[in-house]
Amino acid sequence: MGFSSRLLLLILCIFVAILTEHSFCSSSKEEVSEVPVDFLKFAQTPEFSDWIVSVRRKIHENPELGYEEFETSKLIREELDKMGIPYKHPVAVTGVVGYVGSGEPPFVALRADMDALPMQELLEWEHKSKNPGKMHACGHDAHVAMLLGAAKILQEHRQLLKGTVVLVFQPAEEGGGGAKKIIEEGALENVKAIFGLHVDPSLPVGEVEGRSGPLLAGSGFFEAVISGKGGHAAIPQHSIDPILAASNVIVSLQHLVSREADPLDSQVITVGKFHGGGAFNVIPDSVTIGGTFRAFSKEILMQLKQRIEEVIVGQAAVQRCNATVDFLSEEKPFFPPTVNDKGLHDYFLKVSGDVIGTKNVKEMQPLMGSEDFSFYQEVIPGYFFFIGVKDAKAAKPVSVHSPYFKIDEDALPFGASLHASLATRFLLQSVSETPLVNQNNHDEL
């Protein structure tokens, strides 16, 4: 073969390679852009909508507290079995971790929390809680239903998955630190990113909100026993009054925020528990108080912890009382601040805009609430957002943790398709050279 012939053949090979690559890229881009539309259409079919609502209602009727979600876990496994999705169980006592896709890297995770709250439901409706003193008043029943919905969408479209989606059904978010146990058991090894959502009863259905950087505060709990000397209320000089001491302690704790904290650095100390005495004319021997403290950085959180103990012990001593402080770190571990990865925020804006329209994706301000999703974000890039479930028929939205909490179930297909779209497109784009996450984006407020 002559030189000119070889040169012509080389040019032809290069041309074919360029055409092939262009065809692949065009196909991938087209495939990526159509994912959200197809998923939402699938999720809004009557058959799917009826199924996802029924799942949510079953869970709502049978609320279970942290690490006691045995029936909820059973329901999840039954639904995954019907879909043909493999899973691990138990993980972190009652947790379930499912797998959709190739079973090979890359891996991306979606998370839903399963636990309810220790409170009595006062809302009267057909699917009211059947377990006295327990209620899904924070929407975790909806979170589980939406993740199961995402699992169904992903399984039906698994040919699109260029990797594996890890489905994390997590126990004990409400103070139990279930996310920490999930991590400790190695359920997220090799996962490149994780997404989670939370219902927002003040946001209309069809809207979502999120932000880059600090989203939710870190939090801790404390309980203190202030001991004095009991006696007759008519002769207080013969007693050492722990109620008076506890009252001074509570006032002094507020000074930590009003006089020691930077006014531009949001912090909260709230005493929500005060137990002492049982009679009008008796000074008790002791009083127990308890509360929570919150901040947007771990450093400030630890400073507050130290000062809370110093103030409680010191102020009790001023009133001739003794005090012991317990931060309940085993029962209620400290939650770090929830900090969203900047790269994932940009990605979330694009995907959610494609699913529900850019005008329905809102930028939100940080909240002092806390979430154990933050434990995931300490080890891998993560993104947490809120989805609208506002009851349009209610005169005024009822907040989470209310005995009258209610959601609009029309939001469930939106959450399922958002979950599925975020995971699918993450995997598709992970095979490209464009990084989606900013590994060092853990700036604090």
- Would you say 138 is a known binding-site residue? yes
- Would you say 198 is a known binding-site residue? yes
User: Using H for helix, E for strand and C for coil, what is the string for the chain?
Assistant: CCHHHHHHHHHHHHHHHHHHHHHHHHHHHHHHHHHHHHHHHHHCCHHHHHHHHHHHHHHHHCCCCCCCCHHHHHHHHHHHHHHCCCEEEEECCCEEEEEEECCCCCEEEEEEECCCECCCCCCCCCCCCCCCCCECCCCHHHHHHHHHHHHHHHHHCHHHCCCEEEEEEECCCCCCCHHHHHHHCCCCCCEEEEEEEEEECCCCCCCEEECCEEEECEEEEEEEEEECECEECCCHHHCECHHHHHHHHHHHHHHHHHCCCCCCCCEEEEEEEEECCCCCCEECCEEEEEEEEEECCHHHHHHHHHHHHHHHHHHHHHCCCEEEEECCCCCCCCECCEEECHHHHHHHHHHHHHHHCHHHEEECCCECCCCCHHHHHHHCCEEEEEEECCCCCCCCCCCCCCCCCCCCHHHHHHHHHHHHHHHHHHHHHHCCCCCCCCCCCCCCC
Report the alpha-carbon distance of residue 443 to residue 321 in Å, rounded.
42
Q: Let me know: does 421 contact 36? Beta carbons within 8 Å.
A: yes
- Would you say 89 is a known binding-site residue? no
Which residues are part of a known binding site? 138, 140, 174, 198, 401
Which residues are part of a known binding site for Mn(2+)? 138, 140, 174, 198, 401
